[in-house]
Amino acid sequence: MTRGKLIACHECDLLQREVAVPEGGALRCRRCRAELYRELPGSLDRALAFSLAAVVLFAVSNLYPIVGLSVNGTVVETTLLGAVSVLYHDGKWPIAGLVFATTFLMPVLQTASMLWLLIPLKFDRAPWGGPAIFRLCHLCQPWGMTEVLILGLLVALVKLSAIAGVVVGPALWSFGALMFVLAAAGSAFDTRNLWSRVAAIQHKSAEADVDEASLQGAATAARCGLALCHDCGLLASAPRHAHAFDCPRCGAPMHLRKPASLSRTWAFLTAAMVMYIPANLLPVMYTNSLFGTENDTILSGVVYLWTSGSWPLAIVVFVASIAVPMLKILALAYLAISTQLHSRWYAVQRTRIYRVVEFVGRWSMLDIYVITMLVALVQFQALATIQAGNAAIAFGAVVVLTMFAAMAFDPRLIWDEAERDHAGTRQRA
């Protein structure tokens, strides 16, 4: 039995053996059903091709206008960076920074880091600074939100069509293509295959050495002194009496369990609860026109879409901007409370709740992108202007804080109590 066939689940920490899976198939944890890895032949070549295509599409998407607004022969057009600039000069720099980071900076860094790693491997060379660049790629992945931006643009188009004639720019189409290309590149970027190729080039073992005699009777990696790297997936021996150490493969910090997981989760969650109140009560936009000033909240925007006949988009905005943040807060609070109470009930279901919370968190940015487009385009000084309200800053904070709370929570804590129960049963037996 070789060490290379030992793996640990990143959600429940169960030790398992690698088994062969068919092409395109996935291996799932036998306890919590989390996906452990997929068999993707030629994955790195496909990831390289999609990443190169993303560079071209990203250039087109940011050099040409996304959409324009025509009123009485006057046309106002904007690019993504132009919209960010308008928010910044209006004094809403927190929102401008958030939009810039999630729609421009993070996708650029993720694509560049994938190319940095994949191009040398194509020529059988190990990438220079590979571990640091890999960690950067992993860091950027959850914060790139091109797919949410596209949905936000569609909602903005519906609202803009009621104000003036809408002129669709070439960047809108390239952004749509970029969404699919980035998703394809991310899914094809196989971490397992990447590090196996690097290890083969450097003539080093892809795995750390572990004494298998210590694994007898241990169900989880932590019980036998093993820690899983959440960046590269390496299972490594933890030094004795060490609370933290660096991954021997990619250099990321490793812990048997995330440090102060519940405390940090509650801190982020409490801050999100506080910000959720002004995010929904204060105006998210101010519209100044010949007919006076109108203040819009997130809920009034949903009502407008519904009454104007765009009820599918109204449902989408309501779910993404009102229901999802509230349900995320409630779900994370439930997970934190049940874990603190050492609950052994419904461990599989609680793990699935955590999985859903992680997946849907980014979609709450929808309203932020809608506001960005409206503020950038409705700038007809004699007729109408739109400015972002303070609720937009509060809402952006809610999205970021709930994402941080989900990242701080360690789902393996859900299973630790059940593991202690099983260990006590074995000892009594």
Q: What is the largest CA-CA distance in the chain?
A: 85
Between 104 and 164, where is the model more confident?
Answer: 104
Count the neighbouring beta carbons within 10 Å of the beta carbon of residue 406. Answer: 23
Q: What percent of the chain has pLDDT over 70?
A: 90
Residues facing 416 on adjacent strands: none
Q: Are residues 291 and 417 in the same domain?
A: yes
Position 182: which residue type? L
Confidence of residue 169 (pLDDT cuts 50, 70, 90): confident
What is residue 260's predicted lDDT score, i.e. its pLDDT? 92
Confidence of residue 238 (pLDDT cuts 50, 70, 90): confident
Q: Are residues 58 and 28 in the same domain?
A: no
Q: Are residues 406 and 263 in the same domain?
A: yes
From 273, 371, 283, select the one nearest 326 (Cα to Cα): 273
| Total tally of structural domains belonging to the chain | 3
Q: Are residues 264 and 391 in the same domain?
A: yes
What is residue 4's predicted lDDT score, i.e. its pLDDT? 47
pLDDT in tens, 9-57: 999 998 888 888 888 888 899 889 999 888 888 889 999 999 999 999 9
Q: Is the pLDDT of residue 211 over 60?
A: no
CA separation for the pair 94, 388 (Å, rounded):
11
pLDDT in tens, 297-344: 888 888 877 887 778 878 888 888 888 899 999 999 999 999 999 888
3-state SS, the chain, equals CCHHHEEECCCCCEEEECCCCCCCCEEECCCCCCEEEECCCCHHHHHHHHHHHHHHHHHHHHHCCCEEEEECCEEEEECHHHHHHHHHHCCCHHHHHHHHHHHHHHHHHHHHHHHHHHHHHHCCCCCCCHHHHHHHHHHHHHHCCHHHHHHHHHHHHHHHHCCCEEEECHHHHHHHHHHHHHHHHHHHCCHHHHHHHHHHHHCCCCCCCCCHHHHCCCCECHHHCEEECCCCCCEEECCCCCCCEECCCCCCEECCCCCCHHHHHHHHHHHHHHHHHHHHHCCCEEEEECCEEEEECHHHHHHHHHHCCCHHHHHHHHHHHHHHHHHHHHHHHHHHHHHHCCCCCCHHHHHHHHHHHHHHHHHHHHHHHHHHHHHHHCEECCCEEEEECHHHHHHHHHHHHHHHHHHHCCCHHHHHHHHHHHHHHHHHC
Q: Which of 162-176, 289-303, 351-365, 378-392 has the highest mean pLDDT?
A: 351-365
Mean pLDDT of all residues in 370-397: 81
Choosing from 187, 202, 217, the residue where a domain stops is 202
Q: Are residues 33 and 121 in the same domain?
A: no
Q: Alpha carbon of 216 to those of 25, 213, 373, 393: distances in Å?
A: 30, 6, 59, 53
From 346, 344, 342, 363, select the one nearest 406 (Cα to Cα): 363
Between 7 and 308, where is the model more confident?
Answer: 7
Q: Are residues 160 and 272 in the same domain?
A: no
Q: Are residues 292 and 233 in the same domain?
A: no
Q: Are residues 269 and 403 in the same domain?
A: yes
What is residue 255's predicted lDDT score, i.e. its pLDDT? 87
For the chain, give the mean pLDDT. 85
Q: Is the pLDDT of residue 99 over 60?
A: yes
CATH number at residue 271: 1.20.140
Q: Which of 28-42, 213-227, 277-291, 324-338 has the highest mean pLDDT?
A: 324-338
Q: Which of the residue ranges 27-31, 182-186, 278-282, 288-292 would you say has the lowest mean pLDDT?
A: 288-292
Q: Are residues 321 and 240 in the same domain?
A: no
Q: Are residues 281 and 217 in the same domain?
A: no
Q: Are residues 47 and 35 in the same domain?
A: no
Between 36 and 272, where is the model more confident?
Answer: 272
Contacts of 258 (CB under 8 A, 6+ apart): 264, 408, 409, 410
Strand arrangement, sheet containing 74-78: 74-78, 67-71, 165-168
Between 216 and 237, where is the model more confident?
Answer: 237
Q: Is the pLDDT of residue 206 over 60?
A: no
Q: Are residues 77 and 182 in the same domain?
A: yes
Q: Is the pTM of this model over 0.75?
A: yes
Mean pLDDT of all residues in 185-204: 87
Q: Which of the residue ranges 126-135, 154-163, 249-258, 416-425 would you say has the lowest mean pLDDT?
A: 416-425
Parent domain of 214: 3-39+207-248
